[in-house]
Structure 1
Amino acid sequence: MSIKRSLLSVPFRFSNMAFIFFLLIGMNAFAADPEVSDSEEAIKAGESLFNANCKTCHKLDQKFTGPALRGVSDRRDIAWIKAFVKNSQKVIQGGDETAVELFEEFNNTVMPSHAFLSDEDIMNLLSYIEYGGQEEAAAAPAAGGEGAVAQSGVPSEYLTIILAVLVVVLLLILIVLGLIISVLTKYLNQQPLEEEDKEFISQKTDFKKVLKSDAFVIIITAIVIALVAKTAIDGLFSVGVQQGYAPTQPIAFSHKLHAGDQEIPCQYCHTGVEIGRSANIPSPNICMNCHMHIQNVGGKEGVSPEIAKIYEAVDNNQPIEWVRVHNLPDLAYFNHSQHVKVGEVECQTCHGPIEEMEVVRQHSALTMGWCIDCHRQTDIAAAGNAYYDKLVQLHSNSEDALKVKDIGGLECAKCHY
């Protein structure tokens, strides 16, 4: 009998059917994608990788610069995901229809390659994408995505209408009270009253006498003198104070877009904020870390006029001449790392809602009194910080929380050389 005999010529038996059935199951098992782990360890590791590599362009449950990621392991094969994450352009250039559609849907935005990520790293990323970030998932409907529900609270336009209605109601009440007084006055005048009562009812206010009275003149004079004095004092105290200063910059950089919408951490651009006295103004090279990928694939041709200024600065090896906004006097010493790294002070504490500013302005007064008030009121973030252990121990007998003023925050030499 020939070994090359066709399988079709073999009599069909139940054993043959069972063998083929189990063979197919075995092949399917070998071909199946690895399972995405829901372990806490994998989710935590994936969160770190997501924050370091993906957060700038992606959200889990909302479209952002890139697509929403949750559920990607159900929509795509794991092998496809690994290939796309490691080198998306290679997959796109290979003609993969799904990759090409994604590329075109998001305005030909190039995702940087992540060849340095291992398969295990990508599986941990998928663990976080599928099972982590539940707070974002809960917040997504409120942001207006699919399944969005009506937000609680009264819209601002309705509040304006309510206030207007209240004002009208108050005016109507005053008019009604005036009519009631008028009717009562007429009614009482028709009653048999004594002369004193009639004079009291019919008396009218003589505004001329009120305006000419000594008391009225003294009160008005005192108010005018107080207002003039306050204006003069406020003017003296505002000398050298640039609160609200918002100069025009050489490039129209929007903190609202970058720090707000794109959620880029302040420390990414201001590299010295945790390690030195100055926060550092970013160089054009830091700008190009992102803009060489997301603005235009082919280079500087076709970019916006503002982005073109960055290309020009890089090509000419010239710094961008940013206009300084926050400027302390030379006699005052301020260290960013001491406040941000050690004191764990948020950037917004001094700079205000910087993530909402299209044009940066000086939010705080930055005066000596402003700093001292902060040192008097701010609690020391001593939990888990060995730097403060001995100071906390020395302060243990006090019922009040350990504040900056308790560790020398009001000493002259702290801020003045």
Structure 2
Amino acid sequence: MLSKRSLVGIRMNFQTLAVLFFMLIGVSAYAVDPAVASSDEAIAAGKTVFNANCKQCHKLDQKSVGPALRGISDRQSIAWAKSFIKNSQAVIASGDSYAAALYKEYNNTVMPSHEFLADGDLDNLLAYIEYGDKADPAAATTAAGGDAAAGASAAGGIPTEYLTVIIGVLVVVLLLILIVLGLIISVLTKYINKQDLSEEDKEFVSQKTDITKVFKSDAFIIVVTALVIALVAKTAIDGLYSVGVQQGYAPAQPIAFSHALHAGQYEIACQYCHTGVEIGKSANIPSANICMNCHTHIQNVGGKEGVSPEIQKIYNAVESNQPIEWVRVHNLPDLAYFNHAQHVAVGGIECQTCHGPIQEMEVVGQHSSLTMGWCIDCHRQTEIATEGNAYYDKLVQLHSTSKDALKVKDIGGLECAKCHY
């Protein structure tokens, strides 16, 4: 007895140049006390100063907007370095040849003065530049060698390319099976016809399939009708679920601000522009004054002459005392309460968790759906960062009997009144 089997396929799925901080590729006789320089506390404090004042334009081991900073202890003096950090233009105006050369090398870009940094801050900063965040070659090699595996792991399963290959193989196998079945039927039909059969059996073996009868049959009409109704119903339901969802929305802005350039290439922290993200409900849209912190000095990119058209728009807004009319991308309904400080400062959630790879976006778009289901799913899966936070000590104690990690859902993350009140 012959039978045909159906196979089911698989579905496949970052200029601000704020400061030319140290134009120091040199500081000979940099005599930082080794005990201080290698102090973990000094390095940690220096990293904080670096991230707040230097990271926008400098990297430790390679050129960025400004020069690489590592190794300055092998060049100029400490006094020179501190003077330059506090007021680079005063050092250049004094006729210092080294400072003048760096100023020219980096397109005469002016670095704001840092008179507010105390001497201790400068010592910590120099300690971090010299000893902080040194790359581990072995770790880098391991990371490079494990890119493919990491990519598969991050995807949570088999890479998309493998799925494509698997589906292709299954299609080929299906075709082969159909061909083999056709050959078997043909051979058996010829074999049976050679046997001594009754007229009724011969008629049965030789019968042809009437395609028109199949299309006109009640079963076919019922199946097609059911499929059409199911398709229309699914389309209607999908449409209803998409009401108010703006995933993928990426409107044109009045100024072509590139997050890929600012947050990606120059690694400017999101908090530098979105100042409310750690202290309030809203991350807030930066004013032109924040832009002018850098663009008072940066008028173009790539060493070009004059003021670029997009930067000129910032100047126009400041001169006319009119705000830049940015188009809001991420909107939550008024009935939902969301607090950035609670998630970023307390929860330690990275901006990319909700906003996607913002450091890669030329034009910002809404990466996530931001629906209630999406938020609830995050609350069900996200573990609470309880270590070193006394606020959660009692909750951890009460949760100690459970084998599962303490998650947002366990501290009321699924209660309606948390977001709707």
TM range (shorter): 0.7 to 0.9
Distance 2:84 2:139 in 1: 28
Give the 3-state SS of the residue equivalent to 2:292 in structure 1: helix
Do 1:189 and 1:198's aligned partners in 2 also have CA atoms closer than 8 Å? no
Q: Which residue of 2 aligns with 1:361?
A: 365
**TM-score, with normalisation over the residues of structure 1?**
0.74
- Residue 134 of structure 1 aligns with an amino acid whose one-letter code is K
Do 1:61 and 1:140's aligned partners in 2 also have CA atoms closer than 8 Å? no
Distance 2:284 2:31 in 1: 45
Aligned-pair CA distance for 1:136: 7.8
Q: Which residue of 2 aligns with 1:303?
A: 307
Q: 2:274 aligns with which of 270, 274, 286?
A: 270
- Residue 88 of structure 1 aligns with an amino acid whose one-letter code is S
Aligned-pair CA distance for 1:193: 5.5
Q: Which residue of 1 aligns with 2:330?
A: 326
Distance 1:255 1:114 in 2: 26
Unaligned regions of 5+ residues in structure 2, if any? 1-27, 150-159
Distance 1:276 1:153 in 2: 40
Mapped pair 1:236 → 2:240: yes
Distance 1:367 1:255 in 2: 24
C-alpha distance 272-122 of structure 1, shift in aligned 2 (>3 A)? closer
Q: How many residues align?
A: 376
Residue-by-residue CA offset, 1:223-259 (whole Å, 9 max, x unaligned): 2221211110011121222222222222222222222
Aligned-pair CA distance for 1:90: 2.5
Q: Which residue of 2 aligns with 1:58?
A: 58
Aligned ranges for residues 128-143 of structure 1 at < 5 Å?
128-135=128-135
C-alpha distance 327-193 of structure 1, shift in aligned 2 (>3 A)? same
Aligned-pair CA distance for 1:328: 1.8
- Residue 397 of structure 1 aligns with an amino acid whose one-letter code is T
- Residue 38 of structure 2 aligns with an amino acid whose one-letter code is S
Q: Which residue of 1 aligns with 2:285?
A: 281
Aligned ranges for residues 334-373 of structure 1 at < 5 Å?
334-373=338-377
C-alpha distance 172-274 of structure 1, shift in aligned 2 (>3 A)? closer
Q: Which residue of 1 aligns with 2:224?
A: 220
Distance 1:238 1:54 in 2: 43
Do 1:36 and 1:126's aligned partners in 2 also have CA atoms closer than 8 Å? no
Distance 2:57 2:202 in 1: 82
Do 2:57 and 2:64's aligned partners in 1 also have CA atoms closer than 8 Å? yes
Distance 2:31 2:187 in 1: 94
Q: Which residue of 2 aligns with 1:112?
A: 112
Distance 2:359 2:211 in 1: 55
Aligned-pair CA distance for 1:217: 3.8
Do 1:109 and 1:296's aligned partners in 2 also have CA atoms closer than 8 Å? no
Greater shift, 364-373 or 131-140, is seen at 131-140
Distance 2:33 2:222 in 1: 82
Percent sequence identity is: 69
Q: 1:249 aligns with which of 244, 247, 253?
A: 253
C-alpha distance 104-153 of structure 1, shift in aligned 2 (>3 A)? farther
- Residue 69 of structure 2 aligns with an amino acid whose one-letter code is L
Distance 1:322 1:228 in 2: 39
Distance 1:229 1:176 in 2: 35
**Root mean square deviation, CA, Å:** 4.1
Aligned-pair CA distance for 1:344: 2.2
Residue-by-residue CA offset, 1:52-86 (whole Å, 9 max, x unaligned): 22111111112111111222222444444333323
Higher relative contact order (CA 8 A, sep 6+): 2
- Residue 302 of structure 1 aligns with an amino acid whose one-letter code is G
Q: Which residue of 1 aligns with 2:74?
A: 74
Q: 2:402 aligns with which of 375, 390, 398?
A: 398
- Residue 69 of structure 1 aligns with an amino acid whose one-letter code is L
- Residue 194 of structure 1 aligns with an amino acid whose one-letter code is Q
Do 1:185 and 1:201's aligned partners in 2 also have CA atoms closer than 8 Å? no
C-alpha distance 96-195 of structure 1, shift in aligned 2 (>3 A)? farther
C-alpha distance 238-261 of structure 1, shift in aligned 2 (>3 A)? same
Do 1:109 and 1:295's aligned partners in 2 also have CA atoms closer than 8 Å? no
Give the 3-state SS of the residue equivalent to 1:293 in structure 2: coil
Do 1:254 and 1:358's aligned partners in 2 also have CA atoms closer than 8 Å? yes
Distance 1:260 1:369 in 2: 30
Unaligned regions of 5+ residues in structure 1, if any? 1-30, 144-148
Aligned-pair CA distance for 1:152: 6.0
Aligned-pair CA distance for 1:174: 5.7
C-alpha distance 186-309 of structure 1, shift in aligned 2 (>3 A)? same
Higher alpha-carbon Rg: 1
Greater shift, 118-127 or 303-312, is seen at 118-127
Mapped pair 1:34 → 2:35: no
Do 2:29 and 2:77's aligned partners in 1 also have CA atoms closer than 8 Å? no
Residue-by-residue CA offset, 1:353-395 (whole Å, 9 max, x unaligned): 2222222222222222222222233222222222222222222
Distance 2:191 2:146 in 1: 60
Greater shift, 398-407 or 208-217, is seen at 208-217
C-alpha distance 71-216 of structure 1, shift in aligned 2 (>3 A)? farther
Distance 1:403 1:303 in 2: 51
